[in-house]
Structure 1
Amino acid sequence: MTTPNHVETTIRGLEERRYNAILTGDFDTFSAIAHPDLSYAHSNGVVDSVDSYLKKCLDGFYVYHHIDHPIEKIQVHGTTALVFGEMNGEITAGGVRKQLRNKALAVWVNEADEWKLLAYQPTPIA
């Protein structure tokens, strides 16, 4: 039996893996934990699929220099986990270096006993 605490621990670990993968350029790991239907929004309103996001990362459009991603809470509803927190950091996007300060929501789904990132939505903090 999977307990809510076990699921929360699993999701926290996956969040750590996903951010580390982007920071270190380990896009195979990111791809492995991303759902094929991933909707990856950015704080400027642009939305990428897993393929378009990874292409931008591989092409150097997005370069992550530092990311801090505190988790405020995780809510588990059946086979869906909602991760509420922040994503703060420094990136270069399209050749422009930027500071990010966002509230963030990540949505993970469990299919075939495997958790995958289905959606990500940051919102800039004023």
Structure 2
Amino acid sequence: MTGATMTAASIETAIRGLEDRRYAAVLTGEFDRFAALAHPDLVYTHSNAEVDTRDSYLDKLRTGHYRYHRIDHPVTRVVVAADTAIVVGEMHAEITAGGVRKTLANRVLAVWVYENDEWLLLAFQPTVIPAGERR
């Protein structure tokens, strides 16, 4: 089955599950599991505007630069166009980044592509939610 032959509903279900798995992987320190979900050309942007590749993000995870303590990631919408799925939602997290404990409240956009019979995370982009709009 290719991405083009799956229904939008089945793709949305699959993508929601993959989002759960990728967040769980970084939360539990299963970084190889995250790597298996990430496209080799991953563009991972952070809320402070830093940009990582798959390899540089994994290196930061493995060395403890980023440590996730809690992550909530409600998905608002999954948009499917051919072999691409766009996830629109939020990410609320407690992390330590570079030795500094932080609370994150972001709106997020994640891009998944169907390639070689699997969905892979190609891009992630968070935007800080203004303080007055946070839940």
Q: Which TM-score band applies after superposition, normalised by the shorter structure?
A: over 0.9
Q: Aligned equivalents of 1:56 and 1:50: distance in 2?
A: 10
TM-score normalised by L of structure 2: 0.92
Map 1:8-19 to 2 at 5 A. 8-19=12-23
Q: Which runs of 5+ in 2 are unaligned?
A: 131-135
Report the Cα distance in structure 2 between the residues aligned to 1:60 and 1:33, rounded to whole angstroms: 20
Could you tell me how far apart the structure 1 residues matched to 2:37 and 2:97 are? 23
Compute the displacement of 1:113 (Å).
Answer: 1.8
1:36-55 alignment, distance < 5 Å: 36-55=40-59
Q: Name the SS of the counterpart of 2:47 in structure 1.
A: coil
Shift of 1:84: 0.1
Q: Separation in 1 of the partners of 2:61 and 2:7?
A: 35
**Runs of 4+ in structure 1 displaced over 4 angstroms?**
none
**Residue-by-residue CA offset, 1:39-97 (whole Å, 9 max, x unaligned):** 00000000000000000011000000000000000000000000000011100000000
Provide the C-alpha distance between the structure 1 equivalents of 2:22 and 2:115, rounded to a whole number of angstroms.
18
Q: What is the match of residue 69 of structure 1?
A: 73
2:118 paired residue among 80, 96, 114:
114
Query: Which amino acid in 1 is paired with 2:104?
Result: L
CA RMSD of aligned residues (A): 0.5
Which amino acid is the alignment partner of residue 117 of structure 1? L
TM-score, with length taken from structure 1 = 0.99
Please state how far the C-alpha of 1:114 moved relative to its aligned partner. 0.7
- The size of the alignment, in residue pairs, is 126
Identity among equivalent pairs (%): 61
